[in-house]
Amino acid sequence: MKKLVYLILGVLFGALLCYLYLNPNNMTETPEIIKPKGVITPKEAKALDAAFNSRHQLISDSIVKRPDNRSSWYSLDDMRNYLDYAENQAKALGYTMDGVRIYLGAHANEGDQVGYTTMFLIPTGTKNLEEGSSMPLPAFKASSDISEGDGLNDGGNGEPPSANYPQ
C-alpha cells in the first residue's frame, strides 16, 4: 500500500514537472524590444512642434477663431485593441494589414463654433492575392488605405487643446 502511494505521488510529481517544462505559457523570458524606424528624440519633437506654430496660428486665428487642438491622446489599451481589431477586420476583408495612416481631420461644427482639429487612424495594407493571379511577385504590391476598414478617432484633446509639446 505504501509503495502504491509513492507511485501515485511520483506520477503526479512527474506530470507536474512535464507540464511546467513543456508549457510555453510559463516561459518567463522577456520578448526582445526592437526600436522602431523613425523614433525621434525629445529635442527633435520640440523642433517639429515649433515648426508647426505658424500653421497652428493661421488655423486658430483665421478659421477656428480660438486656439485649435494640437494633439490627440489615445490610451495604450485603445491602441492595442484597435490594432488587433483592425488587423482582424483587414483579414476578413481580404487584406494583409501592414500599418496605419494618421490623418488630420476636424470635428463637426457646433452652432457657430468651428470644430476642433482631430487626428484619426486608418488601417493600411495590401489586397491578398487570389489563386491564379497574374501578379508575379507580391513584393511589388503597394500598401494603401483599407477603405472598407474602420478607423480610430475620439482621442482626447490636449490640455488645453492648444498646448504645445511637451504637455
CA dist 47 → 34, 73, 99, 114, 166 (Å): 25, 20, 25, 28, 11
pTM over 0.85: no
Q: Tens digit of pLDDT per residue, the chain (167 long)?
A: 667 666 676 766 676 666 766 666 655 677 888 888 999 999 999 999 999 888 888 888 888 788 888 888 999 999 999 999 999 999 999 999 999 999 999 889 888 888 888 899 999 999 998 665 555 555 556 789 999 999 999 888 878 888 878 88
Backbone angles phi, psi at 63, to 5 degrees: -115, -55
